[in-house]
Chains A and B, each alone.
Chain A
Amino acid sequence: MRFLFKTDYEDDIKLFPHSGYIISYGLLLALLLIAPYVLSSYLMSQLVFVCIYATVGVALLILTGFTGQASLGHAAFLAIGAYTAAYLQKYNVPFPVYFLAAGASTGIIGAMVGFPALRLTGIYLVIATISFALIVEEILARWESVTNGNEGMRVKTLSLLGVTVPRDSPTFYYLCLAVLVLTIVGTLNLLRSPTGRAFVAIRDSETAARSMGVNVALYKVKSFAISATITGFAGVLFAHKLSFISPEMFTLQLSIEFIIVILIGGTFSLHGAVLGAIFIVMIDPFLTYLKDDMPGIIAGIAATFGASPATAGNIQSNAAAFASLNGLKGAIYGIIIVLFVLFEPLGLYGRWLKIKLFFQLFPLYKRATFKRQKIYVKSERNR
């Protein structure tokens, strides 16, 4: 257990409370920097997706986790960023310009969504953002002169300062990593400033926030705009990574995936966005791995327990047939979500904190430390 003696107000403000943080995050950054030289190209590709998803996760955390405004429409913001980039590319606009333009256009649209959302709470807001996303999806499919409709758009290879950056090059990975790190640092800065505190205040009590001089409407719109802008940036990278975009990529399914990112990671800390992104991106290869290798392993286990080769082969083919069932991935997704909500409401980062605390306090750790207050029923109608 480490005790911190604060001697200066600076100690409350700085990002790294003690040297341990600098060492561990420095180490992590170093590992991430050498990753392209160590990992396979497939894993690198997944790592790029982790960066993009984590960036969107941070954006969603600002809006949902810290300002308390739920959104099931972030796929639409991602789409707007991606399409802005793809459209501007047609006119040979350089990368930095269309990157910023994508962020700006998404941010403006985000603010516009924020305005009607001002008076909406809870389920109404969720429905409104879903509606917004569905409308955007339809517009992308119909506005053929700009978006090329359902045919989709090709995205040219990124070219930065005259150098082409292929989507599977280390440079592209570094770019995504840089965007993620800058997003995280910017968000942390925001959270230790008046704006971030105003967001949290709005989340916990709008009435009190207002009585303390927070212009609730303005800050909600700001939160929407910031979240959308970051998602727009991520959209540009997403478009480049896929090199082809079409409306059916940006469905409600994707918005739900983003929510799952922060739900599984943990909604109260930025760590959650990154952990959740790793989880969501890596679950696909993991399931593929299970599908390919698990039947053989199961058959092997059966054989060691004395099953005849014929039975083992039978088991293997049955397991393979089960694993290649169409909806298996969706079912596993569903089970994971439900299990997380039921048993790990603080997400992966919450689990990590619990493990850490367990070792710090050993043998005095009590399970009740993280017990969530349960209210018999808290009606939002009678509030």
Chain B
Amino acid sequence: MSYFRAENLSLHFGGLKAVDAVSFAVEKGEILSIIGPNGAGKSSIFNLISRIYRPTSGRIFFEDQDITEQPPYDIAKLGIARTFQNIELFENATVLSNLLVGRHRHSTTQLWQELLFLPSVRANEKVHRRRVEQVIEFLDLEPYRDKLISGLPYGVRKVIELARALCSEPKLILLDEPSSGLNVEETDDMSFWIRDMKSELGVTVLMVEHDMSLVNRVSDRVIALNYGRVLAMGSPAEVQEHPDVVAAYLGA
């Protein structure tokens, strides 16, 4: 059985078929990219996986468990973390507390214990803090620890969002256009980090991306979508040469 599997996933808004009977599988430890023109339904697939939308039909499996009906907050608890296309950070909080929210799925303390800040809470906090520090080190975020998000530049925010997702120690991470808005240098860094995530942290990556050079550098496999349907699937080179994909991009 595959690690993560989407079966006949569909999302219809009235007559519009944003996602139409899409099936794919992600193997453990691979980096799978979803490409396609604007409005192809890439982000919608992510929103279906993280349960922001409810699928019109189809099922989603993760580690052989059907997660189609799980409430949205449980998806993170299962070990699926994500980033957002337009950055959804907690603007009026520090970088540190943003990252600590990423640890939320690992918190075990009860409300009354937290009110008294019992030693168990303190011990837990230190564990969280240590894990967060590891991620900060991994992504070179040391200078920003105590800064408020609202004052940080776009490129840094993008990395912080990745960091927040990593803080939850995910098994599968969904990256929604990780390089959008980044300059060439920052995109380079991003590609290294994505590969390191796979090799060092053992995270499986599912990614939506427009930048083909980034896709080519990091992906093990690529899926091409258009109008909510799968056009092609395979290695980056195979997909890019596929006639349907070429047609979709050139508009022929």
By a beta-carbon cutoff of 8 Å, the part of chain A in contact with chain B is 9-10, 12-13, 186, 189-190, 192-198, 200-201, 203-205, 207-216, 222, 226, 268, 373
Contact = CB atoms under 8 A, between A and B. Distances in A.
Nearest to B93: A200
23 contacts: A9-B129, A12-B96, A12-B129, A189-B115, A189-B121, A192-B117, A193-B114, A193-B121, A194-B104, A195-B111, A195-B114, A198-B101, A200-B92, A201-B90, A201-B101, A201-B104, A205-B89, A210-B50, A210-B52, A211-B50, A211-B81, A213-B105, A216-B73
B126 interface: yes
Query: Lowest 4 A-B CB distances belong to which pairs?
Result: A213-B76, A194-B107, A193-B114, A204-B90
B229 interface: no
A12 B177 CA distance: 33
Main SS of the interface on chain B? helix
A216 B104 CA distance: 12
Given A9-B126, A211-B82, A190 B114 contact: yes
Nearest to A207: B88
A197 B100 contact: yes
B237 interface: no
A41 to B, nearest CB: 34
A186 B100 CA distance: 20
Nearest to A189: B117
Contact of A210 (B73, B117, B133, B164): B73
B197 interface: no
A175 B92 CA distance: 35
Interface string B16-44: 00000000000000000000000000000
Contacts of B89: 204-205, 208
A216 B101 CA distance: 13
Interface in B58-110: 71-77, 81-82, 84, 88-93, 96-97, 100-105, 107, 109
A214 to B, nearest CB: 5
Contacts of A205: 88-91
Nearest to A215: B73
A198 B88 contact: no
A204 B76 CA distance: 18
Given A193-B117, A204-B92, A212 B101 contact: yes
B90 A200 contact: yes
Contacts of B97: 197, 200
Nearest to A8: B126
A167 to B, nearest CB: 28
A208 B76 contact: no
